[in-house]
Amino acid sequence: RKETVELQNKETELKKAAAKGSKAEQKAKKKAVEEEISRLSAKLKEKQAKELASLGYVSNTNDINGKSKLDNIVMAIAGVSVTDQSENTTSKRSKSGKRKDKRAQQEVERERRIQEEQSNLVSDRMIEDESLGRKLEPLGLTVNEIKPDGNCLYRAVEDQLALLSGGSSPYNHQDLRKMVADYMRQNSSDFLPFFLSEDSSDSSLADRFESYCEEVESTAAWGGQLELGALTHCLKRPIMIYSGSFPDVEMGQEYKSGGGNELSNGEIIMLSYHKHAFGLGEHYNSVVPNLIS
């Protein structure tokens, strides 16, 4: 490094000296300076090459690439920054290509998210609600939303009883629960064949059924087909369950006026069953006349 710096300083001094005198003299001096610097530079490179050879580096000086590499090594040893232009260009292109690939990948991911969000807009719930709406609209009916909890069946029936009475319901949802539990206990033989218990204990079927009735009466356990069957007998009214996912179900036909087959909205409890309403599962709503013309 010291020898290279000295050579650079000498070159500067010679060029300054060559800048004096007439133009012809400056031209002659400049040429002489270039020749001298070239000679000194070659001498220095030769010396450094011998030093490299003593360290075990062998290069074919007749090979252009070998000479270039040797020059780079010499300059690196001298402390001069060396950059391989071809490698630098490749590196720049590589980085540029990577940036383009990254942007393209980000765009693909963005489009994927947009399509996913759009597809999610058409959910099972929307499909079910649209199907139910198409079924109820020609009948002049619509859904009255009921609070989504374990009491939704009983609250929906309570809402229907209030509608049918033209005022308030004679029973609240807790009254209806007790009525259902009592009816199921008193008519257990009608329900036991359809009773599916999740209780894995060694207790008898009768004991498990009694535990089930206690849950119906005193907890917010979700009501299903067994409870609907009990409700229609307790209230002595037919119950119509509309659904956007399944065929409509009519229960308690024996309670129709005059025993006929014609349905009268003035006596029927109308509910809607929603399989995909909420993440927690199934849900019941009250079906009421659509007063919006």
Q: Residue 169's domain is classified under what CATH number?
A: 3.90.70.80
The larger pLDDT score, comparing residue 189 to residue 95, is at 189
Whether 173 and 263 share a structural domain: yes
Single residue among 27, 52, 82 that ends a domain in this structure: 82
The larger pLDDT score, comparing residue 13 to residue 153, is at 153
In a domain? residue 234: yes
Q: Are 152 and 275 in contact (CB under 8 A)?
A: no
Residue 58: give the domain boundaries: 2-82
Of the listed ranges 90-99, 108-117, 176-185, the least confidently predicted one is: 90-99
- Residue whose entry in the numeric block shows the structure tokens 């009773």: 195
Whether 75 and 129 share a structural domain: no
Whether 274 and 154 share a structural domain: yes
The larger pLDDT score, comparing residue 68 to residue 238, is at 238
Single residue among 50, 82, 114 that ends a domain in this structure: 82
Q: Which of 5-9, 45-49, 215-219, 259-263 has the highest mean pLDDT?
A: 215-219
The larger pLDDT score, comparing residue 229 to residue 50, is at 229
- pLDDT above 90 covers what percent of the chain? 38
Dig out the tokens for 206 from the structure: 């009768």
By CB atoms closer than 10 A (0-12, 13-18, 19+), residue 288 is middle
Q: Give the pLDDT confidence score for residue 64 in this predicted structure.
A: 45
In a domain? residue 116: no
Whether 32 and 131 share a structural domain: no
Give how many domains the chain has, as a whole number.
2
Confidence class for position 235, pLDDT limits 50, 70, 90: very high
Whether 129 and 272 share a structural domain: yes
- List the catalytic residues: 149, 152, 283
Q: Which of 41-50, 52-61, 111-120, 268-277 has the highest mean pLDDT?
A: 268-277
Q: Are 176 and 158 in contact (CB under 8 A)?
A: yes
In a domain? residue 159: yes
In a domain? residue 167: yes
Nearest to 132 by CA among 293, 292, 285, 291: 285
What is the reported pTM? 0.57
